[in-house]
Amino acid sequence: MQNTRLPFLEGGGEMGRLMRAHNWSTSPLGSPDDWPASLRTVVGLLLNSKFPMFVAWGPALGLLYNDPYAEILGDKHPGALGLSFRDIWAETWKDMGPLLERVLAGEATYSENLPFTLLPDGHAEKKWFTFSYSPVCDESGMVVGLYCCCTETTAQVLAARKGKQEHERLRQLFEQAPGIMAVLREPSHIFELANTAYLELVGYRTVIGKTVREALPEIEGQGFFELLDRVYKTGEPFVGRGVSVKLQRPSGELEERFVDFIYQPTRDDEDNVNGIFIEGSDVTQAVKTGLELRAANRHKDEFVAMLAHELRNPLAPISTAAELLKLTTSDPVRIREVGEVISRQVNHMTALVDDLLDMSRITRGLLILNKEALNLNRIVAEAIEQVNALIELKHQHLAIIPAVGPALVNGDKTRLTQVFANLINNAAKYTPEYGHITVRVELQQRDVEVTIHDDGIGISAELLPRIFDLFVQAERTLDRSQGGLGLGLSLTKKLMDLHGGAVAARSEGIGWGSEFTVRLPRLCEPALEFQSRDDGSTALNTNEAMHLMIVDDNADAANLLSLLVEELGHTTTVALNASIALERAHEHPPQMLFLDIGLPDMDGYELARRLRTMPETEEAVLVAVTGYGQWEDKERARAAGFDHHLVKPINLTEITALIVSLGHETSIKNASR
């Protein structure tokens, strides 16, 4: 029944009306008429407060609360009025219980953003609260309850958590950014943040908490400190493009790097500059590439000018000779002399054009090598014959030291002769009269090495690393008495690459001569490579007809090789893939198989391994036929079970030698039976 005699229950909004109308007979608090003055005072206070409050009174901690706290109770309101606090919040008692014990013992508590899992509407929901518990005493001074002032902070906690997550996401983006980033604060430019890219640029040194001058003392005098001071003072950003900076490395040396960057001032709430944000990129590689491209373009321009000069030189005597022929019509001797001049100058121009065409073909991948087994002793001798006139003209001393025995390589005769003629010609051109030139051919374990040494003008240390580059040429005197376009060494390098070889230059400097060394993969002599494993002296029987198999997915190549072998008096089987080869080898076992490596269904290495496991072909001679002739390629072929390795295009001499060796082994085996 409604009670209007108690002033402390007047007002209080909805909760005041509920308390006045509530039946308190079943509540552990009893009738409000009997409530002590201290409880009445607290209830009057909370009912008229707009802040969530409650009081829990008596041994049962009966709950009294105001309208704002009713919102926190949710569906527990209004049934919670007057009931035991423990029963109302049973789901949170594990967390609240210890706090209540402290309060009832006379200790006030304060908790900030404390999480609770509540069941306001029957469903578990996590919420956060900031609240204080204060002990409430009766008239005798005994603690008989507690007073709570609280507020829900769930929204603030979740917002702060989201903000923290966003901050962490931004921090990770900052840290992982590919460009350099750093944050400086205060006029002294103290590092507050620096990402991995920035630390990588400066050498992973400790910078956080240090001023720029402390962290990077080596950039003093490079203008960066002054730029930072100006940006901080004026508040105006600075943008740099491809700026050079010299940074100290752990070795103590200064390394030049190039950076694009911006110094962007940061401001506080009052719009005052309080720091500088640094953002940029390390563009060292791009700048260096640009410098290299400009240098290459400069070399090209110099080459074009030199080409024009070289082409004009022979045109002058040709033009003069033509005019002279107009005036001289009856003197045979004079006409012959003029004709020889024209012939020499035309040959010179032809050589220039040939060099240009060769370089163009090589650069575009159009040069085709006609490889065969060659003796480098003979190739070098032919090259010397081509340039011997210049050597004799300058009265130079030429020493030739050939290899002991055949120096066999697989190469293009014309191109290798061109290589050595060019190198020996250079030695003669840049060696003074009565100078010395030595050409040595040596057999190494895997290579044939040719060395051309002279005591001429030498090569500068600056030029030596670029001596084989296109459009690079040593300085000449103004009269350019030596002539030439400077393409020879670049051609030599590219031709060696095509042969699977190498060329290197060495010089102690200007005035100390030079030495060029050419290395080519060594080709074993057929007579040595294909010796029988048996040392017996059984006579050879090369006329015995044998059966061979050719495996190549190129039908034309396979059929032509088959015809060639049959012309030698032998029978053949042709297979265009590995599967057919295995089938036919089982049906009609061959004594020798020529296997292409690049087959469509399985490569030649795998085919060789399978043939070695078949009883019909485990003793057959396997020959790898491939376009790859490096030492590593030969070793891979041997590991797969091949007996021999031929580099395309193969020739009749190689094939005949292999078949002769097979006939030799067959004769020995037959004789031993």
Would residue 164 count as lying in a domain? Answer: no
pLDDT in tens, 355-397: 666 666 666 666 778 889 999 999 998 889 888 888 999 999 9
258 and 189 share one domain: yes
664 and 586 share one domain: yes
Q: What pLDDT sits at residue 486? A: 59
Q: What pLDDT sits at residue 344? A: 67
Going by the DSSP 8-state scheme, the letter that residue 76 receives in this structure is G
Domain tally, the chain? 5
352 and 424 share one domain: no
The residue type found at 552 is D
Lowest-confidence pick of 81-95, 303-317, 521-535:
521-535
Q: What pLDDT sits at residue 437? A: 94
Model confidence at 594, pLDDT cuts 50, 70, 90, reads very high
Residue 115: pLDDT over 80: yes
R_g (Cα) of the chain, nearest Å: 49
588 and 455 share one domain: no
The reported pTM is 0.40
Nearest-CA neighbor of 590 among 599, 598, 581? 581
Q: What pLDDT sits at residue 550? A: 93
32 and 147 share one domain: yes
Would residue 167 count as lying in a domain? Answer: no
416 and 504 share one domain: yes
Would residue 550 count as lying in a domain? Answer: yes
15 and 139 share one domain: yes
**Which pair of structure tokens corresponds to residue 657?**
């030698």
Q: 311-342 burial by CB neighbour count: b if 16+ within 10 A, else e?
A: eebbeebbeebeeeeeeeeeeeeeeeebeebb
**Which pair of structure tokens corresponds to residue 82?**
């007057």
Q: Which long-range contacts (CB under 8 A, 24 or more apart) does 284-291 make?
A: 284/256, 284/257, 284/258, 284/259, 286/258, 287/242, 287/258, 288/258
What is the rounded distance in angstroms from the CA atom of residue 66 to the CA atom of residue 45? 10
Nearest-CA neighbor of 143 among 101, 90, 86? 101
What is the rounded distance in angstroms from the CA atom of residue 634 to the CA atom of residue 197? 46
Q: Which residues pair with 549 in a beta bridge?
A: 573, 593
668 and 595 share one domain: yes
136 and 15 share one domain: yes
Would residue 170 count as lying in a domain? Answer: no
Domain that residue 578 falls in: 534-672
Q: What pLDDT sits at residue 140? A: 87
> CATH number, domain at 326?
1.10.287.130
pLDDT in tens, 149-189: 999 899 999 998 888 888 778 777 777 777 888 899 999 99
Lowest-confidence pick of 273-287, 394-408, 563-577, 643-657:
643-657
> CATH number, domain at 586?
3.40.50.2300
> CATH number, domain at 182?
3.30.450.20
Would residue 529 count as lying in a domain? Answer: no
pLDDT in tens, 438-454: 999 999 989 999 999 99
Would residue 171 count as lying in a domain? Answer: no
Model confidence at 577, pLDDT cuts 50, 70, 90, reads very high
Contacts of 517 (CB under 8 A, 6+ apart): 449, 450, 451, 452, 503, 504, 506
354 and 383 share one domain: no
Would residue 132 count as lying in a domain? Answer: yes
196 and 71 share one domain: no
Model confidence at 64, pLDDT cuts 50, 70, 90, reads very high
Residue 54 dihedral angles phi and psi, to the nearest 5°? -155, 165
> Between 565 and 265, whose confidence is greater?
265
> CATH number, domain at 512?
3.30.565.10
Arithmetic mean of pLDDT, 621-626? 90
Would residue 636 count as lying in a domain? Answer: yes
194 and 146 share one domain: no
Going by the DSSP 8-state scheme, the letter that residue 532 receives in this structure is -
